[in-house]
Amino acid sequence: MAAIDWYLEGVEFSNCNCNYGCPCQFEDLPTQGFCQGFGVTRIDKGHFGDVRLDGLMMAMVFAWPGPIFEGKGAMQIIVDERASPEQQEALERIARGEETDEAATHYWVFHAMSSTVHPSLAKPIQFDMDIDARTARVFIPGVLEASGRPIRSPANGEEHRVRIDIPNGIEFTLAEIGSASTKTTGGAIPLELNDSYGQFNKVRFNRHGVVR
């Protein structure tokens, strides 16, 4: 059976428990020895087969007891409640790495490294982000609240701007880095992050990975 053609482009905001220079981006071990976090994507333009995805959002909450590559993780997908049943199914399948080349996206990797995949939720997702300003706000009622801001120098309090450039990345090729905080208020995975790694980036994916 032929694979389903899909594509999405938009923006993404993520927050994990590691220091500002997230070790995963440098093929290093997690700051605290384990990994937990959250990510949200706004799709400005996209499709899954004949199903349009323009304007929809999806999010994931995840946790691993050690480095991601050791597996044994847990994840939960939250899809935009505005989506039709067909659109919700499409968002879930992309987030689970289905119809995707092996290890071609972080969605595929996160799902493959999770031995527990909790039932997905359909919720309203409020998400605003300014990549250049390194600011973001996310509110998913009954699930979580998150925010992002620029890193500030402990020496003088001034904003510090830094980027991570990964030419062969599976999630992004260039991301602005800031400080972020996330707290879950429901859902299956407890999370409370304070002023840890925040990531602000554009996304462009198809079934083969990042579109360059």
3-state SS of 149-206?
ECEECCCCCCEECEEEECCCCCCCCEEEEEEEEEEECCCCCCCEEEEEEEEEEEEEEE
> Per-residue pLDDT averaged across 181-199, rounded?
98
Kind of pairing between the strands at 57-64 and 73-80:
antiparallel
CB atoms within 10 A of CB 85: 8
Continuous segment of H or E residues that includes residue 70: none
Per-residue pLDDT tens digits for 5-27 = 999 999 999 999 999 989 999 99
Q: Is residue 12 part of a domain?
A: yes
**pLDDT on residue 1:** 54
- Judge whether residue 203 has pLDDT over 90: yes
**pLDDT on residue 2:** 65
- Judge whether residue 104 has pLDDT over 60: yes
Q: Is residue 119 part of a domain?
A: yes
Structural domain of residue 188, as residue ranges? Answer: 6-210
- For the entire predicted model, the pTM comes to 0.96
**pLDDT on residue 68:** 98
Q: Is residue 1 part of a domain?
A: no
**pLDDT on residue 140:** 98
Q: Is residue 130 part of a domain?
A: yes
Q: Whole-angstrom distance between the N-terminal and C-terminal Cα of the chain?
A: 27
> Per-residue pLDDT averaged across 157-161, rounded?
96
How many structural domains comprise the chain? 1
Q: pLDDT-based confidence at 3, cuts 50/70/90?
A: confident
- Please report the beta strands in 34-186, taking only residues with DSSP state E, as ranges in sequence order: 35-48, 51-52, 57-64, 73-80, 114-123, 126-130, 135-140, 144-149, 151-152, 159-160, 162-165, 174-184
Average model confidence (pLDDT) across the chain:
97
Q: pLDDT-based confidence at 97, cuts 50/70/90?
A: very high
- φ/ψ of 118, rounded to 5, equals -70, 155
> Per-residue pLDDT averaged across 30-42, rounded?
98
